[in-house]
Every structure is written in C-alpha cells, then in structure tokens.
Amino acid sequence: MIVYKIGEKLEQIKMFDYKKPDFQFVMVLNGKEWNEHMKDFDMGIEWEFNAKHINNTRAEVNYDSITGKFLVLDREKISNPPKQFAFSLDEKGIIFIDDEGFADSIVKKIASSKRLVKPCLERFLYDFLEQIIYDDADLMSRFDKRLDEIEKDIFAGVTDEVLEEIAEIRSDLRDLKLHYSELIDVCQEFEENENHFFKEENERYFRLVNQRVHWLYERVLTLVEFTTQLRDLNQTKTDEKQNKNLAFLTVISSIFMPLTLIVGWYGMNFKYMPELEYEWAYPVLVGVCVIIVTAGIVIFKKKKML
C-alpha cells in the first residue's frame, strides 16, 4: 500500500487517518489489500475487486464515491493483453486498485516529473488521464504513415500481400475507437460532477482531457475510413489485374482461333481433299498459319491490346 499527499509535488507519506485527512491523497494498493480494508476508507461502498471482471473502461457515480475501471491498450502492440486496474474516489482523494502495477507506474512518473502550480485532486486526475494518452498523437501518425505506404504499394501493383495488413490495422483502430469512446465517457462523468467532489473552477481540467480524447477519436474515425478506401482500392486493382489477364487470354484465343478452324477442317478426313496429294500443300499451310498469327499480333498491338 503506497500513499501520496497531493501538494506542489506528489509526496509519498506513511499511513494516516484517511477518514478525516487535512489534505487530498492518492493511494495505490492491490486487490487483496482493497478487499481487506475497503470498509475503512469511508467511501460508502463494499465492492470486491476482481481483475477478471474488468472488460472495459467506465466510471460509475455512487452516493458517496465514484468508482470505475480502466482497460488500457498496449500502445506498442494493440492486440496485446490490455492493462487493468480500478479506482474509487471522493472529495478526499483517489484509491487505485492495481494488481499489475500499471497505475502505480503512472503515479510514480507523475510524482517524479510533475510540479503542480495549483495542487488539487482534479489536476492530478488531469495528469493521470494525460499519461494514458500521452504518445497517442505519435501513434496516429505512425498509423497514417503506414497506410500511406500501403496505398503506394497498391498503386505499384502489390495487392496480394497488403490485404491482411489492412485488416490488422483496421482491427487495431476499432479497438482504439472503443477505448477512446470509453475514456470520453469517463471524462464526462468527472466533468458532470454529480456528487460535487470537484471544485467548479477545476472542472476545466476534465474538459481539456475530453477535448484531446475527442481529437484522437476523430482521428481514428478518419483512419478507419482510410482503411475502407484502401480495401476498396485494393479490390479495384485486383479486378483490373484479373481483367487484364482475361483480356490477354481473349486476345491469344482470338489469334489462334483460325488455326483451330484449320485443324478442325483437316481433321475431318474427307475422301476428296485434293491438296493433300500436292507436295507443296504442307509448306503452304504452315506459311498461312504463320501469316495468320503474325497478322493477329500486329493488329492487336496496333489496338494496344497486347
């Protein structure tokens, strides 16, 4: 169990009377500690923590507290298992219930790097939410750059290899879209301040985070639309390639169709075919076939069909 006093900087302190503190605090503990001590925090809830039950990000307003859960995607690889933790807060402070150490790492980062001009719980929550989306603008740029490269590959004729990657990127973007929409809901719950835990003049912190998450959400929507366009473009290029192949086969068939007629003609084995008796009949027929094939190639090349 780790406790911080919210001041100009987060200051780690020893245990205190958390029912009647004279300052706002941040506490990080594991699920076992929470289940053992939740009645001592005087937040009016009896909520047993179970990490297996965390399947989304949300905040819920209770009579004496706001409780919630976070499911944070791995920004290095979206498909990796997400980080999970929960929280409970009131006007006195916030308690993180974290078995994986992710929330603890964010709190420690804020404690070591942030100096607050106007120390308060609202500003700490602002910094905490900002850390969750800290590098997401760069993440969007990486997605955008890779999709541009895929577009160039498609125009270069590389259509078979990119479809699977487009599907993978689209899946990651859908996960991010859901993640951002849930973060927006959490920010809105804080901003509404139904229990009046937050000072009215500090609600702007939640509006700022909300605006940034909204921007990321809109960016994801744009990228999802881009993947749809790339998928359609890839299908168009594939169809063009197939049509070209079919056109080529049609031209080849047209060139050799007269030869097929000649083969069929002389394969009928009629009794009276006088040219079969002539010595020059075979060479003449070979010459006629060569002329037909050559003429066909010349004609189709002039029409730019070969």
Q: What percent of the chain has pLDDT over 90?
A: 39
Q: What is the pLDDT of residues 91-112, one digit of tens each?
A: 888 999 998 899 999 999 999 8
Q: What is the pLDDT of residue 19?
A: 66
Question: What average pLDDT does this structure show over 83-94?
Answer: 90
Residue 118 pLDDT level (bands cut at 50, 70, 90): confident
Q: Write out pLDDT tens, residues 132-144.
A: 999 999 999 999 9
Higher pLDDT, 297 or 56: 56
Residue with tokens 């690889």: 77
CB contact at 8 A, 136 and 72: no
| pLDDT score at 272 | 73
**pLDDT classification of 74: cutoffs 50, 70, 90:** very high
Residue 240 pLDDT > 80: no
Give 56's contacts (C-beta < 8 A, 6+ positions apart).
Answer: 69, 71, 182
**In the chain, what are the domains?**
1-117+126-132 (3.30.460.20), 245-302 (1.20.58.340)
- Which residues does residue 70 pair with via DSSP β-bridges, in sequence order? 85
User: What's the mean pLDDT in 166-174?
Assistant: 93
pLDDT (0 to 100) of residue 46:
62
Distance of alpha carbon 181 from alpha carbon 119, whole angstroms = 28
Sheet with 58-61: strands ordered across = 10-13, 2-6, 25-29, 93-97, 83-90, 66-72, 58-61
CB-based contacts of 303, cutoff 8 Å, min separation 6? none
Higher pLDDT, 156 or 128: 128
Q: What is each CA distance from 185 to 180, 225, 240, in whole angstroms?
A: 9, 23, 45
| pLDDT value for 174 | 95
**Which phi and psi angles does 27 have, rounded to 5°?**
-130, 140
Cα–Cα distance between 77 and 242 in angstroms, integer? 35
Which pLDDT score is estimated for 261? 81
pLDDT at 159 over 70: yes
CA-based Rg of the chain, rounded to a whole angstrom? 35
Q: Looking at 13-22, 70-79, 230-239, which range is the least confident one? A: 13-22
Selected residue with higher pLDDT from 69 and 241: 69
Q: Characterise 61 by phi-psi region: left (phi > 0), alpha (psi -120 to 50), beta (else).
A: beta
> Buried (b) or exposed (e) across 17-32, using 16+ Cβ within 10 A?
ebeeeeebbbbbbbbe
Does position 47 have pLDDT exceeding 70, yes or no? no
